[in-house]
Amino acid sequence: MFVLNNVAQILLGKGFHMNIKNHQNTLEQRRSELVKLTDGLLVSQNTKKAIQQDIESHTAFARDTEQLNINRLKNTEAKLAGQIADQKINETTLEQRRNKLITRKTGYLKFWSFFSEEQKEIRKKVKGLDEAIALIKQNLKTQKEVKQTTQESISSIQQHILEYEQFDLGSARTLLASTAAEIQRTQSKITIAKAELDRLEEKLLPHTRELGRLKFEHATLKSEMNAAERFDQSLSSAKNSYDKAMIHQECEATLGDGSPRKIINDRRGKIRHLENNIPKIERRIQDELKKLDREINHLVIDGNNICYEGNSFIGLRGLLGLLKTLNNRFKITVVFDASIRALLKIDNQGVNKALGPSVNAHITPTKTAADEYLLKIAEKKKDTYILSNDRFKEYHDYEVVKSDRVLRFLIADEKLMANDLNLTVKI
């Protein structure tokens, strides 16, 4: 458990993450783009739903019926207004009668008159008036609330009528169609993006998994060596043979061997081996990512370059095999040195006929090489790459060279291998 805990700390401390983020920026970008597309699709779908609901509400809206409802509600409002006015008059009349009676009331301190029949009758009438006034007030409250609700209903219907009149049904249907088309485009983009991401992840998975395994092993060995070094230090400071024996025993129980020095030497050698191999896997991942992230639409081929296996001239065998395998995967342009006519013993028309109509073939003017012509054809477009084993060092100022858009190949053992294009062709 001690060693495992230390492994975890080393992994975190050194940045040895199993996800290997430093080598998967391309994948993270693809994942981020896929999330954005998915979020955009959800927004478009919600927009489409809202437009559909607006259109359905508009077409279902009966304007004449709603106008009749307004007229009915206005009549109700008018009746309520009249009833409220009558109730207020009644309330005022009753309050005036009550106030007059109140002036005739005597307090209980004047007991000789408080209990008279007249005072009893006055108090009875005041009580009756209070109840009547309270009832009127309650009715007024109810009627006012009903009137308020009626007014709000009228305003709501009027607003709906206004919205109905202002609603542009034609524009809404046009927007609905464009939104539906946008949804289809986004769904298509998502399908393509997901397929591409799956392809990249599948291609890189063996390498990232192996890198993760090596780094975990490296961290484990490092932790074990650190533990062994601590045991070795404890041995150096042990006071007696018994303490040393106990340390050797603990070392064997923890690390499988009682000799810290032996463990240190063993782990140090294994760590050096891993530190030599880990960068190789990292470079492999970087190379694969570079290949996978290329967007090639136009391939410009160094024609003469591909007619040789080492120093041996093989004619068009390699080029024809390559073209057949590519199968219109890219737009193809082939540029030959002027010397190709003598080497093949054919003219320009013969070269064009041999390569076929789908290939743009060019032969440079007499006594000129193809190098700079290749570079100029590929210079301006980032999706155009050159296939050549020339390094073009003297043309370092060309963008196609600076951006590493020159791909290499090897012809050997009757095969043309272009690793940057992930293909092997029998020739």
The residue among 103 and 130 whose pLDDT is bigger is 130
The whole-number pLDDT of residue 70 equals 94
Considering the chain, what percentage of its residues have pLDDT values greater than 90? 73
Using DSSP bridges, classify how beta strands 384-387 and 406-407 pair: parallel, antiparallel or unpaired. parallel
pLDDT at site 5: 42
Q: Which residue has the higher pLDDT, 22 or 322?
A: 322
Q: Averaged over 356-368, what is the pLDDT?
A: 90
Q: In this model, does residue 122 exceed pLDDT 60?
A: yes
CB contact at 8 A, 321 and 247: no
Question: Please, which residues bridge with residue 360 across strands?
Answer: 333
Q: What is the pLDDT of residue 9?
A: 43
Q: What average pLDDT score do residues 97-123 get?
A: 73
Question: Per-residue pLDDT averaged across 8-30, rounded?
Answer: 51
Q: How far apart are CA 279 and CA 217, in angstroms?
A: 14
Strand order in the sheet with 415-418: 410-412, 415-418, 423-426
* Angle of CA points 215, 219, 223, to nearest 5°: 170
126 pLDDT tier (thresholds 50, 70, 90): confident
In three-state secondary structure terms, 69 is: helix
Residue 243 has pLDDT above 70, yes or no: yes
Q: Which residues pair with 332 in a beta bridge?
A: 299, 359
Whether the per-residue pLDDT at 94 is higher than 80: the answer is: yes
Distance CA 407, CA 155 (A): 73
Residue 107 has what pLDDT? 59
- Confidence at 14, pLDDT banded by 50, 70, 90: very low
> What pLDDT does 10 receive?
39
- Per residue in 187-238, pLDDT (tens digit) is 999 998 999 888 888 888 899 899 999 999 999 999 999 999 999 999 999 9
| pLDDT, average across residues 20-43 | 80
> What's the token pair of residue 312?
């041996």
Which residues does 268 contact at the CB level (< 8 Å), separation at least 6? 225
Whole-number average pLDDT of the chain: 89
Distance (Å, rounded) from C-alpha 87 to C-alpha 138? Answer: 10
Compare 204 and 245 and report the one with higher pLDDT: 245
Which domains, and CATH codes, for the chain? 1-293 (no CATH), 295-426 (3.40.50.11980)
| pLDDT(297) > 70 | yes
pLDDT at 180 over 50: yes
Q: Which residue has the higher pLDDT, 353 or 21?
A: 353
pLDDT at 112: 55
Which of 405 and 103 is assigned the larger pLDDT?
Answer: 405
pLDDT tier at 335, thresholds 50, 70, 90? very high
**Residue 2 banded pLDDT, cuts 50, 70, 90:** very low
Determine the average pLDDT of the residues in 316-325.
Answer: 94
